Structure 1
Amino acid sequence: MKLPRVLFWHCLLIMCGFYTSVFAQSIESEFDKFDQIYQNELGSTQGCNQPELGVFRVCSDVLRNDGNAPFILHHNKPTSKVIVLFHGLSDSPYYLKSIAQSLHQQGHNVVVALLPGHGKKNADMDMQDYALSDRWREHVSIIMNFSVGLGQDRYMGGFSTGGVLATEYMLLNPNQSKGLMLFSGALALQPNIETLTKVWGIQWLMKVMDGEYTGQGDNPYKYSSVARFAAGELMEVINSVRNIMEDKKPNMPIFSAHSEADATIPISGVKDLLARNLGDSEAFFIDEKLDVCHADLVINQQQAEAMSNDTSSTDISLSCSGPSANPEHANMLKAVLSFMSQH
């Protein structure tokens, strides 16, 4: 029998000798709020199979497994800096695990959200929802508003699609975050895909081509393919960011990590953002000769070993069979920690 979520944390903290000193400024009530957000999104939540000290994870029977669940890495109290991260299209919070852990070890509370339509056993309706991009945006706003209770200064960022959603939010809400972190940030798609998304009625055609979308595959933390329809929704967000920047140049601290060999998300998009940015920009670009694929940028060896990959399906955007650990992962983490310590 699983302990109720709040009771579990009480017992664990007492066992570790932290209760008296920590709960005077506890963020325990924030865990219930986080759980409620995902009850609303997923329909139901439940206790996780393997609770961890310092981790609050919201699990659900709707999700493929607990590794797809959103989570908070916390210090049992508000911290001076809070970091909110969003994952990419077709993947899950697991992809940001090693980055989140590194930021948490630096002393920050870290929130890793689950975007609508992701991590599910059945994602067909979500990945063909004409309101999908707006649902992503709404969720980003909800999570950012929630994060106020976890500390003083907020920072945000994300991997791939999560990166462009964070960029759009910061451009529209410049006073809500102190800095932006992008990992393979989806600020552009391949030219042929961008051209295709401009064709009238293409979203309907993509929906037909996707058929009954199923994300089930060998990788337990990522759908087996990217839904064409959802890629069109991503392009809508990218175009929104471009339109916003035409009216007003970004002015914020930005850290961007990207592989020059990325065949899924061209590096040109983030280079354009950094060139336009009036604030402090820091780039960690991985040399093309290392051939680091798009999704591999954010994963270390431990994550790579925990995944397997379904290569039986053809994806319109992914050219790498993966997953493989980023050989520059450790140096990338040093760079992002340096960025955080300076801003």
Structure 2
Amino acid sequence: MSATAPIVPGAEPYVADGGSVGVLLSHGFTGSPASMVPWARALAERGHTVRVPRLPGHGTTWREMNTTRWVDWYGALEREFLQLRDRCETVAVGGLSMGGALALRLAALHPESVDAVVVVNPALAMGDPKLRLVPFLKWIVASTPAIGNDIAKPGQDEKAYPRTPLKALHSMMQLWDDVVPRLGDVTAPLLFLRSPQDHVVDAQTLDLVRAHVGSRVTEYVDLHDSYHVATLDHDAELIMERSAAFIAEHAGAGHG
């Protein structure tokens, strides 16, 4: 499979140049920037410089994604982060699902440069016993049914893949194993937004973060009217409002 598969319409990266506060947002596993653009636009309208990259292997075909690994996804996000740091006085990082795991890794590895972290239904662990089979199953079948578009609100589409690529899924599980031991190195103020009715990620990640994160400032917010892709769901406005206030408080002008 060529690495130049066309980008799915609507899955393009988002770029908005604004003021001295930078915000980097990451979409989730098999998803695309489409899941983050409304949130990104809301932050850009507040004058921030905002980036939502399209992670390698995403927004094209699930087969192409199966040729990428978590180091590729993290590497692309880190490059965007470093460019934002050069441009802006302060930088907040955020993400949905796997994007939340990547954002937490950024915060752990760049504690002096990340001013705030905002995660929505982040994934660092899952209790599904079928996941234990993935390291073996990936050599037998290329994909399994999709996990995308877990959204309560009708008519929403995160431009996710119709299949779950198993080699990539196993790599995401390896990402979890890398990030969890680093949670104590995350010291930036953390806003954690979680949907109790999430059909993709269970409560294990919340428990891990509560127990191990090094942030002295932590806020936890329940999204009662949304499923996993809460950024496109009924609580999208709440995410926008709470994250904007949190970023203003902890990464606003004068914090850098």
- Give the equivalent residue in structure 1 for 2:228: 294
Please state whether the residue corresponding to 2:79 is helix, strand or coil.
helix
Aligned pairs for 1:162-181 (under 5 A) are 162-181=99-118
Q: Structure 2 matches for 1:11-160, cutoff 5 A?
A: 62-65=6-9, 67-75=10-18, 79-120=19-60, 122-124=61-63, 126-129=64-67, 132-160=69-97
Deviation at 1:63, TM superposition (A): 0.8
Secondary structure of 1:89's counterpart equals coil
| Structure 2 CA distance for aligned equivalents of residues 196 and 133 of structure 1 | 19
- Deviating above 6 A after TM superposition, structure 1's stretches of 4 or more consecutive aligned residues are none
Say if 1:220 and 1:279 are closer, same or farther in 2 by CA, change over 3 A.
closer
Counterpart pick for 1:274 among 191, 210, 226: 210
- C-alpha RMSD of matched pairs (Å): 2.7
Does structure 1 conserve the Cα–Cα contact (< 8 Å) formed by 2:21 and 2:88? yes
Within 5 Å, which residues of 2 pair with 1:323-338?
326-338=233-245
- Give the aligned partner of residue 257 of structure 1: 193
Q: Which amino acid aligns with 1:293?
A: Y
- Alignment-derived partner of residue 229 in structure 1: 167
Q: Is this contact kept in 2: 1:74–1:109, CA < 8 A?
A: yes
Report the 3-state secondary structure (helix = DSSP H, G, I; strand = E; otherwise coil) of the residue aligned with 1:226.
Answer: strand
Measure the CA separation in 2 of the matches of 1:213 and 1:265. 16
Larger radius of gyration: 1
Normalising by structure 1, what TM-score?
Answer: 0.64
Letter in 2 for 1:87: H
SS at match of 1:171: helix
Q: Which residue of 1 aligns with 2:149?
A: none
The alpha carbon displacement at 1:191 in A equals 3.5
Contact 1:255/1:283 (8 A) holds in 2 = yes
Does the CA-based 8 Å contact 1:254-1:274 persist in structure 2? no
Q: Which residue in the other structure is 2:140 paired with?
A: 208
| Larger RCO of the pair (alpha carbons < 8 Å, separation 6+) | 2
Match of 1:341 in 2: 248
Maintained 8 Å contact 1:64/1:220 = no
Indicate how the Cα distance of structure 1 residues 128 and 147 shifts in structure 2: closer, same or farther if over 3 A, else same. same
Q: How far has the Cα of 1:271 moved from its partner?
A: 3.7
1:240 has 2:178 as partner: yes
User: Taking structure 1 as reference, are residues 233 and 152 closer, same or farther at Cα in structure 2, changes over 3 Å only?
Assistant: same
Distance between the aligned counterparts of 2:217 and 2:71, measured in 1? 29
The answer to whether the 8 Å contact 1:284/1:332 transfers is no
**One-letter amino acid matched to 2:170:** G
Mark the CA change 1:149 to 1:294 in structure 2 (over 3 Å): closer, same or farther: same
Could you state the TM-score of these two structures normalised by the residue count of structure 2? 0.84
CA-CA distance at 1:294 after TM superposition: 1.0
Listed one character per residue, the Cα deviations across residues 210-238 of structure 1 (whole Å, up to 9, x for unaligned) are: 26999xxxx58221122222221111111
Q: Which whole-Å CA distance do the structure 2 matches of 1:220 and 1:63 have between them?
A: 14
Pair 275,333 (structure 1): closer, same or farther in 2 beyond 3 Å = farther
Aligned-residue offset at 1:207:
4.1
Give the percent of matched residue pairs that are identical in Structure 1 and Structure 2: 20
Secondary structure at the residue paired with 2:163? coil
Superposed CA offset, 1:165-189 (max 9, x none) = 1111211221121111101111222
Q: Distance in 2 between matches of 1:211 and 1:74?
A: 38
Bigger shift: residues 328-337 or 87-96: 328-337
Take 2:227 and 2:6, find their aligned partners in 1: how far apart are those partners? Answer: 30
Partners of 1:141 and 1:178 in 2: how far apart?
15
Q: How big is the shift at 1:249?
A: 4.8
More helix by share: 1
**Between Structure 1 and Structure 2, how many residues are aligned?**
240
Partners in 2 of 1:249 and 1:151 — Cα distance?
A: 23
Distance 2:245 2:74 in 1: 29
| Paired amino acid for 2:39 | I
Q: Could you say what secondary structure the match of 1:82 adopts?
A: strand
Equivalent residues of 2:21, 2:48 under 8 A apart: yes
